[in-house]
C-alpha cells in the first residue's frame, strides 16, 4: 500500500500549481488595475487641461488687447481673436499659426519689431509707445509690450507680443498738458501784468489821498491809463481760460 506522502504528492503538486497560477493571476490583475487607474488619471488630466484651455481661450479672445505668441524664430504659435480681426482688416491677410510674424507687419515696422523681439528673447520685458499711421489712416498712438515666454523649467521658449491703442489716453494727456500750460500762463499774467497796474493804481490813490483828494488831472489821466491796462490784462486772462 502507498503511504500518505505518496498519496498526497499529486495533491501537493496540484496545489503548488494552483498557487503559482493564482500569483500570476493576481499580478496580472494588479497590473490591469494599475493600467486602469493610469487610464483614469490620464483621462482626468486631459479633462482638466481641456477645461483650463477653454477658460484661457475664453479670456484670451474676449480681450480687446492684441496678443500674439511667438517661438524663438518669430513664428506664430497662437493669437487672440482681436489680433486676427485687426490683421485681416489692416492687411487683408488671415493669420495662421506657423507663419512668421514679419509676414503680417508693415515693412516700415519690420526692423523695430525684429529688434524688440530679440530683446525679449534675451530675457527683457519692456513697453514702448509709438505714434503711427496704418495704411494712410490718421495717426494713432500705440503701446507695444514685449515679454519673454518661459517654460516650466524657466527656459525662454518664445515671447508674447501685446499691443494696445492708447490714442484716447494720449489725447487726454495732451489736454492735461495744455490746461497746465494755460494755468501757468494765467499765473504769469497775474503775477506780472496784473500786479503791476494794481500797484500803480494803489500808488496813485495814495498820492490823491495825501493831497486830500484834490482833482489833479495828471493823476486822473494816469489812473485812467492804468485802469485800461488792467482791464485789458483781465480780458486776456478770461480769453486764455476759455480757449479749447
DSSP calls for 104-127:
GS-HHHHHHHHHHHHHHHTT--EE
SS3 state of residue 26: helix
How many angstroms separate the CA atoms of 242 and 48, rounded?
61
Q: Pick the last residue of a domain from 30, 62, 94.
A: 62
Segments forming the whole domain that contains residue 233:
171-241
Cell numbers at 177, concatenated? 498738458
Q: Which residues pair with 149 in a beta bridge?
A: 158
CATH of the domain at 119: 3.30.450.20
Claim to verify: residue 102 and residue 152 sit in the same structural domain: yes
Claim to verify: residue 106 and residue 46 sit in the same structural domain: no
Claim to verify: residue 187 and residue 152 sit in the same structural domain: no
Q: Pick the last residue of a domain from 149, 165, 181.
A: 165
For residue 17, the model assigns a pLDDT of 58
Claim to verify: residue 56 and residue 69 sit in the same structural domain: no
Claim to verify: residue 132 and residue 87 sit in the same structural domain: yes
Instruction: Extract the runs of DSSP E, i.e. beta strands, from 36-184.
Output: 66-71, 76-79, 126-132, 140-150, 156-165
For residue 76, the model assigns a pLDDT of 92
How many angstroms separate the CA atoms of 140 and 165, rounded?
7
pLDDT tens for 49-94 read 666 665 656 666 677 788 899 999 999 998 888 888 888 888 888 8
Domains contained in the chain, number: 3
Claim to verify: residue 127 and residue 212 sit in the same structural domain: no
Claim to verify: residue 32 and residue 47 sit in the same structural domain: yes
Q: In degrees, to the nearest 5, what angle opens at C-alpha 231 toward C-alphas 227 and 237? A: 145
pLDDT tens series, the chain, 244 aa: 444 455 445 555 555 655 665 666 666 666 656 666 667 767 777 766 666 665 656 666 677 788 899 999 999 998 888 888 888 888 888 889 999 999 988 888 889 899 999 999 999 999 999 888 766 667 889 899 999 998 888 899 999 999 998 999 888 888 888 878 877 777 776 666 666 677 777 777 777 777 766 666 776 777 777 777 777 777 777 676 666 5
For residue 101, the model assigns a pLDDT of 92
Claim to verify: residue 158 and residue 117 sit in the same structural domain: yes
For residue 178, the model assigns a pLDDT of 82
For residue 11, the model assigns a pLDDT of 53
Claim to verify: residue 41 and residue 88 sit in the same structural domain: no
For residue 61, the model assigns a pLDDT of 64
Claim to verify: residue 137 and residue 50 sit in the same structural domain: no
- What's the whole-model pTM score? 0.57
Q: Pick the last residue of a domain from 19, 44, 62.
A: 62
For residue 1, the model assigns a pLDDT of 46
Amino acid at each position: 500500500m502507498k503511504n500518505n506522502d505518496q498519496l498526497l504528492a499529486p495533491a501537493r503538486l496540484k496545489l503548488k500549481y494552483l498557487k503559482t497560477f493564482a500569483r500570476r493571476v493576481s499580478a496580472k490583475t494588479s497590473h490591469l488595475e494599475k493600467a486602469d487607474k493610469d487610464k483614469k488619471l490620464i483621462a482626468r488630466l486631459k479633462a482638466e487641461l481641456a477645461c483650463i484651455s477653454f477658460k484661457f481661450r475664453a479670456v484670451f479672445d474676449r480681450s480687446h488687447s492684441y496678443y500674439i505668441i511667438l517661438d524663438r524664430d518669430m513664428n506664430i504659435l497662437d493669437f487672440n481673436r482681436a489680433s486676427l480681426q485687426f490683421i485681416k482688416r489692416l492687411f487683408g491677410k488671415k493669420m495662421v499659426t506657423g507663419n512668421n510674424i514679419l509676414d503680417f507687419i508693415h515693412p516700415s515696422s519690420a526692423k523695430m519689431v525684429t529688434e524688440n523681439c530679440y530683446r525679449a528673447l534675451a530675457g527683457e520685458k519692456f513697453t514702448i509707445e509709438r505714434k503711427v499711421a496704418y495704411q494712410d489712416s490718421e495717426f494713432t498712438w500705440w503701446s507695444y509690450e514685449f515679454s519673454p515666454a518661459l517654460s516650466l523649467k524657466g527656459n525662454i521658449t518664445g515671447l508674447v507680443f501685446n499691443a494696445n491703442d492708447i490714442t484716447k489716453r494720449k489725447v487726454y494727456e495732451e489736454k492735461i498738458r495744455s490746461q497746465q500750460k494755460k494755468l501757468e500762463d494765467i499765473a504769469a499774467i497775474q503775477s506780472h501784468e496784473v500786479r503791476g497796474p494794481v500797484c500803480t493804481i494803489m500808488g496813485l490813490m495814495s498820492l490823491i489821498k495825501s493831497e486830500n483828494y484834490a482833482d489833479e488831472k495828471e493823476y486822473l489821466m494816469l489812473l485812467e491809463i492804468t485802469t485800461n491796462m488792467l482791464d485789458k490784462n483781465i480780458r486776456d486772462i478770461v480769453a486764455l481760460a476759455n480757449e479749447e
